[in-house]
Structure 1
């Protein structure tokens, strides 16, 4: 299912975008990034360009560009162009189409994201089934160590999720955009097997998988080996969120501990993971992420590491 881009990308020009997960939508004074001036957006994006990024993902946990008015969207695009940033893809966060309270609203929002992506020339969007953080997750040092949302075991809900994602796929395909479904714990995309089954049920050429297996190996519970997950999902791989974690398992007590790490230092061997993806024809952008500390600087380090692994 992985589609090849007509452009022969190499390690010099492969799009590797900065995520904006370090930047909140609501500022300390209570104002919203949505309402900032173009100059204020430019000030934030200077962090990105100073670290050498030439691609940006305006992650919607920071700025919902699909909810900007046409004139404000033009302002934002002018800011990114002036900064020398292109936008290969748009990531969405915690806007599940089967959210019991807001699923229909999120579906309409994701249709707007598709139209916005097409209008600005972004070729891919990342969509997931994760839910807003629970109160326990908000209190935890690392949110993935506390209990969060679990997708319903009801087959009717699975069917609804498949139908709504297929609906998005049909729209995306009609405007030249592809959808990458983010793997995330306790959702229908929470294991490699379930993710493959889900995307096969959707059965649309514009819908593939975002093999964000870092979301899974960070869990303090037994998980499938990262290489087995990659082997299963690589044929379906699209826009790819990449990050890594140190993981320690005590076989005697069953204790698991994890912490974020730069890509080359963590459990996942991305040299092998990227090789596996390329063998299956992977030709999409990367999004580099990191939680904790100066995540943007670590993401820049991850970008430079990825370039050493790509074809010359």
Structure 2
């Protein structure tokens, strides 16, 4: 059955709630956060592991988390593992093992989408910026077939594990990684070659950069046919051709550089039925995400699209 604006799963990311204390906090603290998210109108969360690493919870603590979800009336259609690249030259093997155990825990709480990327922990220079994306981070090695093949094989391994639970894997586009351009991201997914591994065309990660970027419409043309999940966020962007200066700043979906009305329409025309995840940096990120959810629902198909009670003349029939 096709989704519609009432039933489409739109999840809130939980970046803004991330503190070191969350992992060891009482379940009542988790419930307080989930209830706050529910209070602005969300019934779904993306279980962002920068907030809570359920793969590192004991069985009893995982059961407590499940009870908190029930108490808050919250569902978890997706889980995002962030900055745990499986090809990190220092921690790739550990990150792979973490991904597998997180996948197991995710399956137990009903997650259907595992979101992964190749971006690594923030550098000191990034941490010192007002906006971390204004400093360069770690880069995947270019023209390195050994590292590329490692990415392919490890994502294949994860994809097959996810398939055991009927789960899909979505790879997040992110600058300076093998998922940093539309062409490279598509090639990686095609090399992985699994039906349950696709792309998260999170172009917000790219349009916010203070450097020349690909045309966002052309990136969508290339990546949307592979999209199976979508983290949506937007930014203001201005470019001064005279000086080369570029300005960006987080913005609500409807007000930023990417035209999400066109983007969602294009995705729907290609049959996209994936979870949408609202992210926002700065200010009251939760409330902006709630505004973004309301906006997205206006762009999704109504149910039913053409009610049977509409007069024939309004359906295009001759009078």
TM over 0.5: yes
**For the residues of structure 1 that align with 2:140 and 2:19, how far apart are their CA atoms?**
26
Structure of greater relative contact order (alpha carbons < 8 Å, 6+ residues apart): 1
The count of aligned residue pairs is 301
Equivalent residues of 1:127, 1:180 under 8 A apart: yes
2:165 is aligned with 1:171:
no
Residue deviations 1:154-200, cap 9 Å, x none? 21111111110111111111220000000000000001111001111
In structure 1, the residue matched to 2:205 is 215
Corresponding residue number in structure 2 for 1:262:
252
Task: Indicate which of 91, 103, 121 corresponds to 2:110.
Answer: 121
Equivalent positions of 1:79-158 (< 5 A) are 79-153=68-142, 154-158=144-148
Correspondence 1:33 to 2:27: no
Residues 114, 177 of structure 1: 8 Å contact kept: no
Give the SS at the match of 2:17.
coil
CA drift of 1:25 comes to 3.4
Whether the aligned pair in 2 keeps the contact of 1:125 and 1:239 (CA below 8 Å) is no
Q: How far apart are the structure 2 equivalents of 1:62 and 1:271? A: 30
- Structure number with larger C-alpha Rg: 2
Deviations 1:15-41 (A, max 9, x none): 101110101231xxxxx2111111111
Report deviation, 1:97.
0.1
Distance 2:174 2:5 in 1: 28
Separation in 1, partners of 2:258, 2:293: 16
- Quick check: 2:34–2:74 contact (8 Å CA) kept in 1? no
- Tell me, yes or no, if the aligned pair for 1:210 and 1:239 is still in contact at 8 Å: yes
The answer to whether the 8 Å contact 2:117/2:173 transfers is: yes
**1:13 matched residue in structure 2:** 7
Residue 242 of structure 1 deviates from its aligned partner by 0.3
Aligned partner of residue 8 in structure 2, secondary structure: coil
Give the deviation of 1:295 after TM superposition: 0.5
Equivalent residue for 1:53?
A: 42
1:190 aligns to what? 180
TM-score by length of 2: 0.93
Q: 1: CA distance between counterparts of 2:9 and 2:105?
A: 19
Would you say the 8 A contact 2:174–2:206 is kept in 1?
yes
Q: Does 1:250 align with 2:240?
A: yes
